Amino acid sequence: MIGSHTRPAALLETLGRSIVGQRAVLETLVLTVIAGGHVLLEGAPGVAKTLACRALAAAIGGTFRRIQFTPDLLPSDIVGTRVFDQRTATFATVPGPIFANVVLADEINRAPAKVQSALLEGMQEHHATIGPETLAFPDPFVVLATMNPLDGDGTYALPLAQMDRFLAKVIVGYPDRDDERAIVDRFGTSDVDLPASVVTLDDVRSWRTAARAVFLDAKLRDYIVDIVRATREPARLGEFGKYIESGASPRAAIALAQLVRARAFLEDRDFATPDDVRDLAPSVLRHRIAYGYRVATEGIDTEAIVQAAIGAVHAP
């Protein structure tokens, strides 16, 4: 189905050799690359969020930039600025680190909203405006953002509009005992060897074109739409409905359809299934639902609310 280009499964297998465990996280990263979106990774420190992003960038052979988000960061530190050249008496445009194939926004919630919003135009439009110039980003362009949910001091909540720009959100958990032992054995005495150019940027572009051709049955499209709409219809969620302030936007349905096609393509299928939708729906919905204050006061697990929305719709 892929022809002469490298299979995306090769990228996933290579990442699996660099990162112990975290198979679901690595799969979502690869699916996001195929679908042409951005991904938000949330997890405690030390669970290989940054390492997974670095490994992905090295494996696709593109340019990579890391932006460490801090409270004193400025929008110009991300998109770039204009600098006066005294020799020519003219202003020159200096692009920022966002001009790369893979951009790691490390601890994105540690910068104020003005800096976070600097990513918005680029994530959606794939270009940035610096002074009078509008410059296009390299193709492909992927933003991988990380968040630490445990330490709230000095952090700023991401606005829902920005969260909606991420195709998927992944919860990166702790490894099980066997994986943690393997991590100690493998990395306790040596540095991590990152994969180098396992696939090319042309491969990635060809994957995106081929993934769009994956067949998505009309009943499956209705299934996707109904799941997203269920998050906006609290009555359908039973006891969990009272905890939702606003549900997922129509962009969630588009994102889920893109990921479902990418999953089928990754597994070398030319059609998608209801299982693809069920498996990928949580990563699309969990960051697009706004919850009321009672979720925190009553200690409600938001993942259970997402699963209730998925379970409220019968699969075709």
Q: Residue 276: is its pLDDT beyond 90? A: yes
Tens digit of each residue's pLDDT (9 = 90 or more) over 100-132: 999 998 888 888 888 877 787 788 888 888 888
Tens digit of each residue's pLDDT (9 = 90 or more) over 143-153: 998 888 776 66
Q: Which helix (H) or strand (E) holds 152?
A: none
Q: Are 241 and 208 in contact (CB under 8 A)?
A: no
- Whole-angstrom distance, CA of residue 300 vs CA of residue 241: 12
At residue 209, the 3 state secondary structure works out as helix
Question: For residue 262, what pLDDT is reported?
Answer: 95
Q: Are 217 and 271 in contact (CB under 8 A)?
A: yes
Tens digit of each residue's pLDDT (9 = 90 or more) over 36-49: 999 998 887 777 77
Whose tokens are 């290989």? That residue is: 48
Q: Which domains does the chain have, with CATH numbers?
A: 1-188+197-212 (3.40.50.300), 214-316 (1.10.8.80)
- Whole-angstrom distance, CA of residue 222 vs CA of residue 254: 12
Q: Are 39 and 280 in contact (CB under 8 A)?
A: no
Q: Which helix (H) or strand (E) holds 245?
A: strand 244-246
For the CA atoms of the chain, what is the radius of gyration?
Answer: 20
